Amino acid sequence: MLTVVSDTHSTDSHRLSGRTLEAVREADVVAHAGDFMRESVLDDFERESTRLLGVTGNNDDAGVRARLPDARNFTYGGLTFAMTHTRPGGPTALSLFGRQRGADVVLFGHSHRPTYDATGEVALLNPGSHAQPRGNRAAHAELEALPDGGVEGRLVTVDGDVFESFVVSEH
């Protein structure tokens, strides 16, 4: 399983709880789309994860910035994922970022709003924030690789309620 989280905004711990903590511990890969805030929070995520892939956010300190890139690509389920915290220009800029990086899916954060949007050439996935939802549901995303390629995904609350499901197929 690939678990996607973002926008922890913590100065003292990973602030993982409930289903989000379970999903991070169960995942083969955890992708964090930025705004850990402090290097100690990044360390906490690394302790809970089998494999953590992160990017920096606009609120991350120098320690996080020294250890993580501002964008990265990786593959899972035969798909190419491009991850960033944000790009000026909203969904159009995120889609362009994904196309430039040859991605099937762009993972991003910043808005704290859990969102899946497959209306463009590149699917856009924001897991929301598990720790500081800012009026949205506290959430994360879980993706399972499909046997013939692609992923089956879901947006999940910290309490474990699935509120959106989707499939991303290989092109």
Task: Read off the CATH number of the domain in which 36 is found.
Answer: 3.60.21.10
CA distances from 122 to 42, 75, 86, 168 (A): 28, 15, 15, 10
121-165: pLDDT as tens digits: 999 999 999 999 999 999 999 999 999 999 999 999 999 999 999
Q: Which residues contact 59 (CB under 8 A, 6 or more apart)?
A: 9, 35, 37
Percent of the chain with pLDDT strictly greater than 70:
99
pLDDT, residue 1, reads: 98
pLDDT band at 170 (very low <50, low <70, confident <90, very high): confident
How many domains would you assign to the chain?
Answer: 1
Which domain, by its residues, includes 66?
Answer: 2-168
pTM of the model: 0.98
61-73: pLDDT as tens digits: 999 999 999 999 9
β pairing state of 2-5 and 29-32: parallel
Computed over every residue of the chain, the mean pLDDT equals 97
pLDDT, residue 122, reads: 97
Q: What count of Cα atoms within 13 Å lies in the side-chain half-sphere of residue 120?
A: 20
The answer to whether residues 8 and 32 touch, using CB atoms and an 8 Å cutoff, is yes
Q: Which residues contact 88 (CB under 8 A, 6 or more apart)?
A: none
